Copies of this chain bind each other. A is one copy, B any other.
Amino acid sequence: MKDPDIGAVARETGLATSTLRYYEEIGLITSSGRKGLRRLFDPGIYERLALISLGRNAGFSLKEIGAMFAQDGNPRIDRAQLHDKADELDRLIRRLRAMRDGLRHAAECPAPSHLECPTFQRLLKAASADAKRGKSKRK
């Protein structure tokens, strides 16, 4: 497996080349060298990008993700931080579940207006309470 160039990495991962350059610019990834002008990447880039993907999926910012790598490039993941994030996801999931059920219910609810449906009202109350006490961290 020869060191892939940016196009190969892009094809393999589904990321835009501009995104890869951007990631390099902010220090999230590094290219292993050049062949002429063109960047070459170490095959390990795929694992790294997968980790980044994982972090993004879990709702970490690129900055946070960057902080999770040690200088050697290996993940340096703080177990407590992982637990926190898992808990945060848990809360998010609960909220989303309520929302999903609410939507489904609303789609079937025979009340003349959703606003008159008690289930929907309960949902609304929960949401505004959520908004009031502390921001949800979710953008």
Contact = CB atoms under 8 A, between A and B. Distances in A.
A74 interface: yes
A70 to B, nearest CB: 11
A43 B28 CA distance: 48
Contact of A89 (B53, B79, B99, B106): B99
A119 to B, nearest CB: 12
Contacts of A46: 128
Given A14-B131, A82-B107, A90-B100, 13 more contacts: A49-B128, A50-B124, A50-B127, A53-B124, A54-B99, A56-B131, A57-B95, A59-B138, A85-B103, A89-B100, A89-B103, A92-B96, A96-B96
